A = this chain, B = another copy of it.
Amino acid sequence: MIVIMQPGASQTQVDHVVQLVKDFGLREHVIVGTDRTVVAAIGDKRNVDKGAIENAAGVDRVVPILAPYKVASREVKRESSVIPLGSGASLGGRKVAMIAGPCSVESREQLMEVAEAVKEAGAVGLRGGAFKPRTNPYEFQGLGEKGLELLAEARERTGLAVVTEVMSIDQVDLVSRYADVLQIGTRNMHNFNLLSACGGTDKTVMPKRGWSATLDEFLLAAEYVINAGNSNVILCERGIRTHETYVRNTLPLAIIPAIKRESHLPIVIDPSQGTGHAYMVPAMCRAAVAAGADGLLIEVHGDPEHAMTDGAQSITPETFAKTMRELGAIASAVGREC
């Protein structure tokens, strides 16, 4: 941590900051500049609230030096992690993993039709919500366990790994019985109890970035899971809230090189949530693979106009198949395959 004093801070004020640094069990190092004095605090204390020093008289601001995450960082593990996806597939290696399926599991017929179509087109994972986090309490909340059973049946039929959301700690056991990957939704990325609970399972866990989470907070969500004993974590970017209105969310693909630099964990892009409009999805799939994404999470529905949820951003199986063909060439241009 670096404590930057205000211009004209007195020696007494500097001395007091030095004392506070010592109170934290850190070692101080004072640098007197031309305009300002700076107090560097040396030592690894990720567990203290350094911001408190800001309150001391004469302090301008406090700049942290250490990244707040540790086990999720590339500093701790240099080589990129390859994480099991289930059904023999994995994520983070040479092959870019395609996870596709409906927003919600609506019926056996709907699910099987989509599952077979996306499998045929090259997907390795099946997404589908059984428990749906709905902002509006009046909307369809998912089929619950019945939906999970259908997902397992689809896996049986197609060999696709099942990726589905768990919304609450009391659903973790149930969802774990059916799913290969426990998805933690954007609204729950900061739900630390849920992250820890998923960290107690042997399933791969995929937290989606919160709507306005920082990169540090995103990696700290992974850190919660790993610290609870589960290293199989996949990160998923699904767009952030900004002033833009032509999209439902703004999809910041530069997070791909950023994650690759900061962390060993693989990163999946969700271009469906990440745009909110079906017509944009193929372009964003191509962009994500070109930028180095390890996988894609795509909403596909046999009849988007009548989808119970997220119809506006669901592509058809035909569009998915066409997109997959384009992705193959792009993946190969960046030394990957689809």
A positions within 8 Å CB-CB of B: 2, 4, 6-8, 20, 23, 29, 31, 33-36, 38, 40, 42-44, 46-49, 51-56, 62-63, 65-66, 68-70, 75, 133-140, 167-170, 187-188, 190-194, 210-212, 214-217, 220, 223-224, 227, 240-247, 250-258, 261, 274-275, 277-280, 283-284, 286-292, 304-314, 326, 329-330, 332-334
Contacts and interface: CB of A to CB of B under 8 A. Distances in A.
B287 A275 contact: no
A136 B68 contact: yes
Contact of A138 (B47, B55, B283, B334): B47
Given A54-B311, A246-B258, A257-B283, 6 more contacts: A36-B66, A49-B310, A52-B311, A133-B192, A168-B193, A253-B283
Contacts of A20: 305-306
A252 B248 CA distance: 12
Contact of A49 (B254, B279, B309): B309
A223 B283 CA distance: 26
Contacts of A46: 136, 138-139
A312 B139 contact: no
Contacts of A137: 192, 220, 223-224, 227
Contacts of A138: 46-47, 68, 70
Contact of A243 (B241, B289, B312): B241
A43 B38 CA distance: 13
Given A35-B44, A288-B287, A333-B333, A261 B279 contact: yes
How many of these chains are in the complex?
4
Contact of A51 (B4, B240, B312): B312
Q: Interface centre among A139, A223, A250, by most B CB within 10 Å? A: A250
A140 to B, nearest CB: 7
A308 B253 contact: no
Contact of A31 (B29, B55, B250): B29
A227 B134 CA distance: 14
Nearest to A327: B333
Contacts of A44: 34-35
Nearest to A253: B287
Given A169-B169, A212-B241, A307 B2 contact: no
A2 B329 contact: no
Contact of A256 (B2, B69, B283): B283
A203 to B, nearest CB: 19
Contacts of A310: 49, 51
A212 B329 CA distance: 35
Contact of A250 (B47, B136, B250): B250
User: Top 3 nearest A-B pairs by Cβ distance?
Assistant: A52-B311, A187-B190, A329-B333
Contacts of A291: 283-284, 286-287, 290
A136 B243 contact: no
Contact of A167 (B23, B192, B255): B192
